[in-house]
Homo-oligomer: A and B are copies of this chain.
Amino acid sequence: MGVAGRPDEPVTLVIEAGGAHLARLLAAVEARLRDIAAAAGGPVAGWAGATIAAGGKRLRPLLVLLAAGEAPAAEVPLVRAAVSVELVHAATLVHDDVLDAAALRRGRPTVWATDGRAAAVATGDHLFARAFSELAANDDVEQVRVLSRASSALAEGELLQRADAWDVAVAPERYLLRCELKTARLFEAACELGEANRPPPAAAPQLGAFGRRIGLAFQLLDDVLDVSGPAERTGKHRGTDLLDGTVTLPLILARAVDPELAALDLRAVRTAEEAERICDAIAATGALEQARERALRLVAEAKELLPEELDAEQRRALLLVADGVVARYA
């Protein structure tokens, strides 16, 4: 997608509230992402472009832009920071598709599916490298450090997920740690990178904890959506996590209620139909509502963490993002 998303997506809501300033910056982010993909040359240009186009909601760049406040120090470095976060996200997606052997993402064929493992691994590496060169142009090493720490966390989270695969008895703390690493830390980094591009005197970083909780809520709701569907919305069948052996909060909550789910052998679940049947069993326990409730509490916590000293416009936009994360799943 370009800047214009679904009418209830955070980007759309915030642009409507924030007006021309934000729309222009987001358009600059899109243009730069397209340029970076195109500059790769050869087949990579197409693969990188497709990955970036399939990336979705641009929540992370949006957080970067919003965290910088109404009048960022300079627009070019701010756009670079937003672009670099999205590039790391895109790199992760394309590598995840290799690991999951995922044929579709948001209803489109993945690079892995169309051009194979090698194309996908190298495209991810390329996007990853470009993220750092893009951010390095900001001449602020602390920003590079923030992004590389978040990138390490992403890889650790992915590994944790693999280590825990097929384990229906995985501890809830372990699941939450994985979500922190896989998702929340890059949301946190997005906020910190935005703050690093505030006009001087820069305030001490304050929005990281907000971003982290929003990211965690986002991941929880994403995991709910994988069970609840509908497929038209997610661009994939219900229960793809189950078929990958990925145990998420809905199943963790449901197994406490339904002994059959607790005794489930995930490796025996092989078809989309079987996965959907288990999704129904999970839903029947009320676990989806519980998981959604937990995500809503995280969003409420995030809102309370917004510092007093934010100006009214910035606060309003960040609250819209927080609500927007939830609204998509209403």
Copies, count: 2
- Whether B152 lies near A129 (C-beta < 8 A) is yes
A156 touches B95 (CB 8 A): no
Residues of B within 8 A of A95 (CB): 121-122, 125
> Interface readout for A104-130 with B: 1 if CB under 8 Å, 0 if not?
000000000000111101111110111
* Cβ-closest chain B residue relative to A161: B118
Q: A124 vs B149: C-alpha distance in the bound complex, in angstroms?
A: 15
Contact A130 B159 (CB under 8 A): no
Chain B residues with CB under 8 A of A91 = 125
Q: Is A154 an interface residue (CB 8 A)?
A: yes
- Residues of chain B within 8 A (CB-CB) of A159 are 42-44, 118-119, 122-123, 126
Q: Closest CB of chain B to A173's CB: distance in Å?
A: 15
**Interface flag for A284 (CB, 8 Å):** no
Cβ 8 A contact of A156, one of B92, B126, B144: B126
A233 contacts across to B, CB distance below 8 A: none
CB of A132 within 8 A of CB of B160, answer no
Interface check A4, CB cutoff 8 A: no
A290 interface residue (CB < 8 Å to B)? no
Encode A156-184 as 1/0 by CB contact (under 8 A) with B: 10111011000000000000000000000
Which A residues, 118 to 153, have Cβ-Cβ distances below 8 Å to chain B? 118-119, 121-126, 128-130, 132-133, 136-142, 144-145, 147-149, 151-152
Are B129 and A136 neighbours in the complex by a CB distance under 8 Å? no
A residues at B contact (CB < 8 Å): 40-44, 91-92, 95, 98-99, 116-119, 121-126, 128-130, 132-133, 136-142, 144-145, 147-149, 151-152, 154-156, 158-160, 162-163
Instruction: List 9 additional contacts besides A122-B162, A126-B155; criterion CB under 8 Å.
Output: A43-B163, A98-B121, A99-B117, A117-B117, A122-B155, A122-B156, A125-B128, A125-B158, A132-B147
